[in-house]
């Protein structure tokens, strides 16, 4: 059995680490480079970096910040935000990332997934899905809708259909972020996570809502995720990555440990 992964997420705005709730009310809380280094030293399996306003502002990602973070960590590093072409992907990889995360651009121009996979390998392409719970309808039979541009634009696309399509196009991994749960610390949206995990063959990262160590256990057992994304509970010092992994191991979850 593969080890389950813990992945701290660095949301970055104007070069600063930031955090909000349900994609709103973001406040700056620190330096992303120093924070990434600390999580690496605590045993994080990967780091995810999102330039959260790049797509909405129609600009490229801040490559200097990417380079600075990459110089401080020696674990897989995924970068997203403002990536809309294969050339953008190449720039991010050359800046030190191992994986590229596409979200809004993938919805608007799905061929970027297959083009990126052809150029760099499926293992490099992570598709982020920002998902909102909505009433079930003919257009959205799962009751989960894809939204883009940091939760600002509803797309009328069913999340389950999109997950299957993303896999077909060549993505190597999916990051499923529940806007309803994001930043609430009430736990992951396990129904959504399990729905996607049961219907695709590629790894799933659960995202949005982690508030205590048991939530990570729930994500990788009940939710059948391969990894759990975390933010608030480590950003604000409530737990360390080490604390979370110790709890998971104590509950019988296989994790990579360095201590």
Write out the two tokens for 258: 């360095």
Q: Is 11 a catalytic residue?
A: yes
Rounded distance, CA 85 to CA 15, Å?
Answer: 22
Pairing of strands 24-30, 144-148: unpaired
Rounded distance, CA 155 to CA 64, Å?
Answer: 32
Nearest Cα to 177, choosing from 216, 229, 215? 229
Q: Is 198 a catalytic residue?
A: no
Catalytic residue among 11, 45, 91, 182: 11
Catalytic residue among 45, 51, 88, 130: 130
Output b/e per residue, 169-179; b: 16+ Cβ within 10 A. Answer: bbbbbbbbbbb
Rounded distance, CA 77 to CA 7, Å?
Answer: 10
Pairing of strands 153-158, 173-178: unpaired
Catalytic residue set: 11, 130
């Amino acid at each position: 059995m593969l080890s389950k992964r813990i992945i701290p997420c660095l949301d970055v705005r104007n070069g600063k680490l930031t955090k909000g709730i349900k994609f709103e009310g973001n406040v700056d809380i620190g330096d992303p480079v120093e924070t990434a280094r600390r999580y690496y030293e605590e045993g994080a399996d990967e780091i995810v970096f999102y330039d959260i306003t790049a797509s909405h502002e129609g600009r490229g990602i801040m490559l200097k910040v990417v380079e600075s973070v990459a110089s401080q960590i020696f674990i897989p590093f995924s970068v997203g935000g403002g990536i809309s072409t294969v050339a953008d992907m190449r720039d991010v990889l050359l800046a030190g990332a191992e994986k590229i995360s596409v979200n809004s651009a993938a919805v608007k121009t799905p061929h970027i997934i297959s083009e990126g996979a052809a150029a760099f390998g499926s293992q490099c392409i992570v598709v982020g899905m920002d998902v909102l719970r909505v009433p079930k309808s003919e257009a959205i039979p799962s009751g989960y809708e894809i939204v883009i541009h940091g939760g600002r634009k509803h797309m009328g696309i069913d999340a389950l259909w999109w997950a299957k399509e993303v896999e077909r196009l060549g993505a190597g991994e999916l990051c499923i972020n529940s806007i309803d749960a994001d930043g609430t610390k009430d736990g992951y949206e396990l129904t959504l996570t399990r729905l996607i995990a049961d219907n695709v063959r590629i790894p799933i990262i659960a995202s949005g809502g982690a508030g205590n160590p048991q939530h990570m256990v729930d994500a990788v057992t009940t939710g059948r995720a391969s990894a759990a994304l975390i933010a608030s509970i480590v950003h604000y010092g409530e737990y360390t990555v080490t604390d979370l992994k110790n709890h998971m191991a104590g509950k019988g979850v296989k994790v990579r440990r360095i201590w």
